[in-house]
Structure 1
Amino acid sequence: MNISEIYPSSNKIYINCTLYPDVKVGMRQINIRNSSQRFLLYDTAGPYTDCDIKVNMTEGISSIRRDWIARRNDTYPICKAKTNSDTLGVKALSRDDRVILKGIAGGAPVTQLFYAKNGIITPEMEYVAVRENALLEQAEAIPGLLLPTKTRKITPEFVREEVACV
């Protein structure tokens, strides 16, 4: 089935990040019928709702975070984890590679909490900030909508602080 049939009067758009320009946040732009107005929703479906991306069901979707993690240049593989299909004795569909877990020098696990507590803003943190701001800016533009008087722009640093529990 065609995506435009499932989601009529809408299209997938991407909002680019600033700190990490290759990181894009997928949103669904809804066109209101009989109006020139539009509004955004966060599109959680990933590449499945992007008409320009062909997903090979036997290969799966590409790992966009792999490049983000590699770019940090601070991780090394610590083991190959068995996939669920391994434990069931079923060979995975045409993929023989295993999930490679990563570690950071010194033995720390690769987590957003680790980076946040060390003052590092990751692409994932900027992704969250961009996603939340797109929706917040849209809400602020609605006439008569009552929002808290101190609506704060969500920055990547704010997300980092929240993850670090500072």
Structure 2
Amino acid sequence: MSATKLTRREQRARAQHFIDTLEGTAFPNSKRIYITGTHPGVRVPMREIQLSPTLIGGSKEQPQYEENEAIPVYDTSGPYGDPQIAINVQQGLAKLRQPWIDARGDTEELTVRSSDYTKARLADDGLDELRFSGVLTPKRAKAGRRVTQLHYARQGIITPEMEFIAIRENMGRERIRSEVLRHQHPGMSFGARLPENITAEFVRDEVAAGRAIIPANINHPESEPMIIGRNFLVKVNANIGNSAVTSSIEEEVEKLVWSTRWGADTVMDLSTGRYIHETREWILRNSRCRSVQCRSTRRWRRLTGSPKILPGKRSATRCWNRPSKVWITSLSMRAYCCAMCR
């Protein structure tokens, strides 16, 4: 017998209850640990899995066990995986990278919003109930400055983001003492430079050489640094999204939480409804991982009034020729993941 299907109102109410009562939760037999770096504020979260003892002999009456040390692993869940952190979705997550961004001194806040669409949305009183209360004032690079991790890497600068990534990629291997756990098959590198331990210098060099990218938008300071490249760990993308007739902001935030808890490094928001602009802000302010959104869908809705109607030649030309306002470089999903990650 199939379960009773919930109505839209019931689904939204359930999602609202979920985010209202949201608490950090560790996996069974696991606990959250943090590994600190040399730079102030670099505190990398990891999940430490507690292993049960191994039976090595003895008798049924007096078995002999050998204790197994805990194993640290990569953890993308952020505050949602730490029972010690109080979570308030209405306020958003702590701005982890804000001190690092400010310390570099190469950004400035916008005095006015540059996007006409954003101005129109902010002026619409009917959206007040949907809008995230703590809207972040956007930043931009100062005149003549660049704010990408690629630029810093090419200048020979090691940023806190790079140190964070190096610690994260190593997954606490330096804490492991057992030779059994430290054993690694030789494998085939296929010409890749694979050091025994990832260092911040190695991260910088790989980014500078163009073999890796660090998606770290200055307007998403809540995000935890991560890297995508051939010489680093495989990353996981999760797709979420609503439509014009289904889902809600509450449900999208719930999907975001579950995605990061289950290991997503990036979350692609494929929403197409009327409120994707407001939904994006809720997701960004509550996300430790990179958030990607279908810019083409947003742009086409602005131009045509409906994401179902593809724009004409003139509108399409505007999409391609105005990347500074459209935030789109390619209709390829791979290009989105690489170039549009926030």
Query: Using the alignment, how far apart are the partners of 2:177 and 2:170 within structure 1?
Result: 10
Alignment of 1:30 with 2:49, yes or no, is: yes
Change in Cα spacing, 1:144 to 1:156, as seen in structure 2 (3 Å) is closer
Query: Using the alignment, how far apart are the partners of 1:44 and 1:33 within structure 2?
Result: 24
Query: Using the alignment, how far apart are the partners of 1:151 and 1:105 within structure 2?
Result: 38
Which secondary structure does the structure 2 equivalent of 1:52 belong to? Answer: coil
- Tell me what 2:25 maps to: 3
Alignment of 1:116 with 2:153, yes or no, is: yes
Change in Cα spacing, 1:55 to 1:103, as seen in structure 2 (3 Å) is same
- Any residues of structure 2 matched to 1:86-105 within 5 Å, and which? 90-91=127-128, 92-95=131-134, 97-105=135-143
Query: Using the alignment, how far apart are the partners of 1:2 and 1:130 within structure 2?
Result: 23
- Tell me what 2:200 maps to: 156
Which string of whole-angstrom CA distances, capped at 9 and with x for unpartnered residues, describes residues 2-23 of structure 1?
Answer: 724xx111100000011x1321
Which of residues 151, 155, 170 is equivalent to 1:133?
Answer: 170
Asked whether the 8 Å contact 2:157–2:204 carries over to 1, the reply is yes
Query: Using the alignment, how far apart are the partners of 2:151 and 2:68 within structure 1?
Result: 45
| Corresponding residue pairs, total | 160
Which structure: greater strand fraction?
Answer: 1
Asked whether the 8 Å contact 1:126–1:156 carries over to 2, the reply is yes
- Tell me what 1:43 maps to: 75
- The unaligned stretches of length 5 or more in structure 2 are 1-22, 54-66, 211-342
Query: Using the alignment, how far apart are the partners of 2:123 and 2:30 within structure 1?
Result: 42
Which string of whole-angstrom CA distances, capped at 9 and with x for unpartnered residues, describes residues 24-69 of structure 1?
Answer: 1100000012343211111101111111110111111111011111
- The unaligned stretches of length 5 or more in structure 1 are none
Change in Cα spacing, 1:104 to 1:133, as seen in structure 2 (3 Å) is farther
Which secondary structure does the structure 2 equivalent of 1:47 belong to? Answer: helix
**Identity level (%):** 38
TM-score by length of 2: 0.41
Alignment root-mean-square deviation, CA: 3.1
Query: Using the alignment, how far apart are the partners of 1:87 and 1:145 within structure 2?
Result: 58
Query: Post-superposition shift, 1:99?
Result: 4.3
Change in Cα spacing, 1:124 to 1:2, as seen in structure 2 (3 Å) is closer
Query: Post-superposition shift, 1:139?
Result: 10
Asked whether the 8 Å contact 2:156–2:204 carries over to 1, the reply is yes
Amino acid at match of 1:22: G
TM-score by length of 1: 0.79
Amino acid at match of 1:36: N
Q: Which has the larger radius of gyration?
A: 2
- Tell me what 2:34 maps to: 14
Query: Post-superposition shift, 1:136?
Result: 4.9
Query: Post-superposition shift, 1:86?
Result: 5.3
Query: Post-superposition shift, 1:90?
Result: 3.0
